[in-house]
Structure 1
Amino acid sequence: MNRLSASALSVGTAAWPRYRPEEHRAGIVHLGLGNFARAHLLAYTDEVLARRGGDWRIIGVSLRGTSVAEALNPQDGRYTLITRGQETHAQVIGTLKHVIAGTRMASCALAAMTRPACRIVSITVTEKGYGITSEGALDRTHPAVAADLESPAVPGGVIGLIVAALAARRAAGLPAFTVLSCDNLSHNGQKLRRAVLEFAAATQQDALAGWIAANATFPSTMVDRITPASTRETLGAAQALTGHEDLAAVETEPFHQWVIEDTFAAGRPEWELAGALFVADVAPYEQMKLRMLNGAHSMLAYSGQLSGKAYVRDVMADPAHAALVRRHLKAAAATVRGLALDLDVYAAALAERFVNPSIAHATAQIAMDGTQKLPQRIAAPACEALEAGTPVRPFAFALASWVAYLARRDACGAPIRVDDPRADALRNAVAGAKDIAALLPALSALCPDVLPPVLLNGEFGASLAQLVEAIDSEGMAAVIAREAMRDWE
């Protein structure tokens, strides 16, 4: 069977591009072309090209390996987006021009970013991919940042690439581009701007830092669309729906949301035509999503992993566990400020999305990189709830689930691998603690933004320690059943 490509004939039930992709130039370079970007940013842009046209196709840059490029480039950037809800729909996306990867990634990416036509550099590299501390400072210990500070002319990381490209544009007399983070970082635009300016200053480019500050823009964004990892079933479904082999197919849910601060340096696609919301202040929307959707996701991921539930839908199929998810959503909603929205309605909609039996969103996937995700998802709302006197037990359960997840053992008693940027340090902390009483302060010392010292004291600290002990001694299933019966308010 032939591969999906620009010359592929339109067969099957999938919708094909309603425009001629090759008639549009690329105006966006995207760093980190994973499944989420292809289900979200590229899908929004595809709709704009179909409805309004414009030179807004996208050049992708893969910072980690060549597999994405090897799948997409032979297909001329085409791929199938499968949307699974009560019904299944598929469309072939034509937004992507090509993908840059491999040994010449840095030079080719810089060439693309310094073309006059490039007006936006967008990013989805997950929280750990930037090299930014939780406060938003440049993390000079991050491997990519450290390497790029040593050799700024041949960058391989996000911030190094951005600074080098802006330096080249300034030297060539070209205008600055917009840098658009689409990751689940709180205040993502502000933090990225600070880190970029610090990198420029650290490489003795003070004049460049001033030029970037005056000319480039870094809008903050909030993004939302549940997008699981692709499987063989995904690729099989794409083949059935398009009539062509597609090694880059993605599946997602019907819901999608994008809230964007409307500060662009050199124009933008009319993403509002595809449903994006442009606002003056993204922060309240971001807080709502990080604390409610992402916070509940982290809680159910760790507790799901410890209770034998492979997917989010499996958690929601357990009435007791689903009750804890709804409990967490309510507690998180109590910490959200500044939105004229009915958060009870939002929470109910989130729970319904989690139930979706057609989306195989793995709890193991969500459980990755906890030290990067939990500060804004769990710790911050927990501290605010504690200060405000609103319910905190749901946050204690979420953090206890993470701690117990770190302390897992296999059948032979050996530690189970944790997928986290600080995995080695976490493993050493767990191994060095003789009991829970010693483990909690050790983890707090290592990750004070995940386990702030204030959460180890008083009623919260007692609940946290009791929950970790109970999960360890009785098993997560028993604790879930008991917590679901608890009058937690």
Structure 2
Amino acid sequence: MADPDWGIAAYTFRNTELPRTLAEQDGLYSLQVRGEGEPRAEIVDAISRAHPGSETDQWLADLASPDVTLLTLTITEAGYRLSGDQDGTAIGRVLAGLRGRHRASGAPIALVPCDNLPGNGGVLREAIRTAAAGEAPDFRSWIEDHVSFVDTVVDRITPATTEQDVTATARLTGFEDRAPVVTEPFSEWLLAGDFPLGRPAWENSGARFVDDLAAYEQRKLWFLNGAHTLLAYAGPALGCATVDEAVRHPVLARLTASWWDVASRHASLPEEDLADYRQRLRQRFSSRGVRHNLLQIAADGSQKIPARILPVLRAERAAQRMPDAPVAALAGWLIHLRDRPVSDPRADELVSLAHSADAPRRVLSALDVTLANDRELVSAVEDYVEHLRLSAGRTV
């Protein structure tokens, strides 16, 4: 949309229905933006073609083609984990594509991960290096010299689409779209890295290219994603189902403000920048235009908590402080593991630990052994589990 000379060949490896729907719609879908007033919608025509991941030959042909100059990935935090069977993982599929590109033309390519991970370009680089450890030396050298890994920060709340969204889109656009995307007015996309064969003019649609993303990554992961994680686990324990409900709950509103206060003590950006971002987050979280389901955010806690919550908690414990908000997030996660359906790559292990004797320490040990050996912290998490249950009883 920002640059009509470019198009997207889109692949999804889990959902077979979505690429079929997009193909039937000639790649068109609608973007519905919801704030406090009347929603607005536009038709997006950036997708040239859509494929299920089962079309392996087409995937390999696309990655081998020098006409394909960059690959964006949104595979969630869990997608960067390697397993014994790498071929079936997202990283394994990318490596297979790079292997074919090396054999076919050797053209350089930029890989652009868009997941909520600090230094996501570096994380992807290390995952590819590890997966390629047994490959031929000339292929590994080609990866080092010809594959660029771009760091990104993507900041826009996009809840799962509902049937009501499909109906609203048809009303707004006259287009019978079975794959609409619903989002908020706010958006931010920051990128740092090289594009050896060029890129679309994303800046025409507001993307910003910067030299150093670390401070912005930290701000987004701690303030937005960290608050989301806190609400996703403590919120349902207090009877809340969506983010906007949660930030109106007096206990959760206090915990959210407390979390931002604590995170501010360790953040790199100036206080005025953080204060402005916090104010915008309050408005975004409380908007009823975008109703973000807490159980959607709660998926993959074992991957999210280490990046979003634990850095701040470690810094606080090093200063011999015991902040309520991260303790509440861990307590809520323990309740979640015990009481709710768990979507997590380590679900079986974590659910078993959550129901075992000495559960707070054992669940913490799955994230960080040092924190699990912090007896005062383990006791605080255990106490906060009971505090949340009592607060829920008083609320009801």
2:345 counterpart residue number: 421
Deviation at 1:102?
5.3
Structure 2: how far apart are the matches of 1:373 and 1:477?
28
Structure 2: how far apart are the matches of 1:170 and 1:405?
45
- The answer to whether the 8 Å contact 2:36/2:288 transfers is no
- The answer to whether the 8 Å contact 1:393/1:460 transfers is no
Structure 2: how far apart are the matches of 1:299 and 1:426?
18
Structure 2: how far apart are the matches of 1:263 and 1:107?
28
2:85 counterpart residue number: 147
1:159 counterpart residue number: 91
Change (3 A) 1:458 1:201: closer
State the one-letter code of the partner of 2:33. T
Change (3 A) 1:158 1:339: farther
1:405 counterpart residue number: 336
Q: Which runs of 5 or more structure 1 residues have no equivalent in the other structure? A: 1-45, 132-138, 149-154, 409-415, 482-489
Q: Do residues 444 (structure 1) and 368 (structure 2) align?
A: no
Q: Do residues 471 (structure 1) and 388 (structure 2) align?
A: yes
**Aligned counterpart in structure 2 of residue 453 of structure 1, from 370, 381, 384:** 370
Change (3 A) 1:102 1:198: closer
State the one-letter code of the partner of 2:85. A
Q: Do residues 187 (structure 1) and 104 (structure 2) align?
A: no
Q: Which runs of 5 or more structure 2 residues have no equivalent in the other structure? A: none
1:258 counterpart residue number: 189
Residues 31-77 of structure 1, C-alpha deviations (whole Å, 9 max, x = no match) = xxxxxxxxxxxxxxx2x12xxx32x2101011113111121110001
Structure 2: how far apart are the matches of 1:312 and 1:375?
21
Change (3 A) 1:264 1:299: same
Give the structure-2-normalised TM-score. 0.94
State the one-letter code of the partner of 1:296. A
Structure 2: how far apart are the matches of 1:102 and 1:262?
27
- The answer to whether the 8 Å contact 1:406/1:426 transfers is yes
Deviation at 1:469?
2.9
State the one-letter code of the partner of 1:250. V
Change (3 A) 1:294 1:191: same
Give the aligned length: 395
Equivalent residue runs for 1:366-405 within 5 Å: 366-388=297-319, 392-405=323-336
Deviation at 1:250?
1.1
Give the structure-1-normalised TM-score. 0.77
Structure 1: how far apart are the matches of 2:193 and 2:346?
35
SS at 1:407's partner residue? helix
Compare 224-233 and 80-89 and name the one that shifted more: 80-89
2:282 counterpart residue number: 351
Structure 2: how far apart are the matches of 1:109 and 1:75?
20
- The answer to whether the 8 Å contact 2:334/2:354 transfers is no
1:91 counterpart residue number: 42
After superposition, the CA RMSD in angstroms is 2.0
Deviation at 1:158?
2.0
Equivalent residue runs for 1:280-359 within 5 Å: 280-338=211-269, 342-359=273-290
Q: Equivalent pairs: percent with the same residue?
A: 34
SS at 1:183's partner residue? coil
- The answer to whether the 8 Å contact 1:106/1:156 transfers is no
Residues 393-426 of structure 1, C-alpha deviations (whole Å, 9 max, x = no match) = 2111111111122222xxxxxxx42111111111
SS at 1:217's partner residue? strand
1:431 counterpart residue number: 355
Change (3 A) 1:167 1:102: closer
- The answer to whether the 8 Å contact 1:125/1:183 transfers is yes
Q: Do residues 225 (structure 1) and 176 (structure 2) align?
A: no
Structure 1: how far apart are the matches of 2:159 and 2:108?
34
State the one-letter code of the partner of 1:282. L
SS at 1:251's partner residue? strand
Structure 2: how far apart are the matches of 1:111 and 1:339?
47
Deviation at 1:389?
5.3
**Aligned counterpart in structure 1 of residue 29 of structure 2, from 79, 91, 100:** 79
Structure 1: how far apart are the matches of 2:250 and 2:18?
39
Structure 2: how far apart are the matches of 1:234 and 1:398?
31
1:279 counterpart residue number: 210
SS at 2:149's partner residue? coil
Residues 446-466 of structure 1, C-alpha deviations (whole Å, 9 max, x = no match) = x133xx433652543332221
Change (3 A) 1:121 1:341: farther
Q: Do residues 176 (structure 1) and 95 (structure 2) align?
A: no
State the one-letter code of the partner of 1:194. E
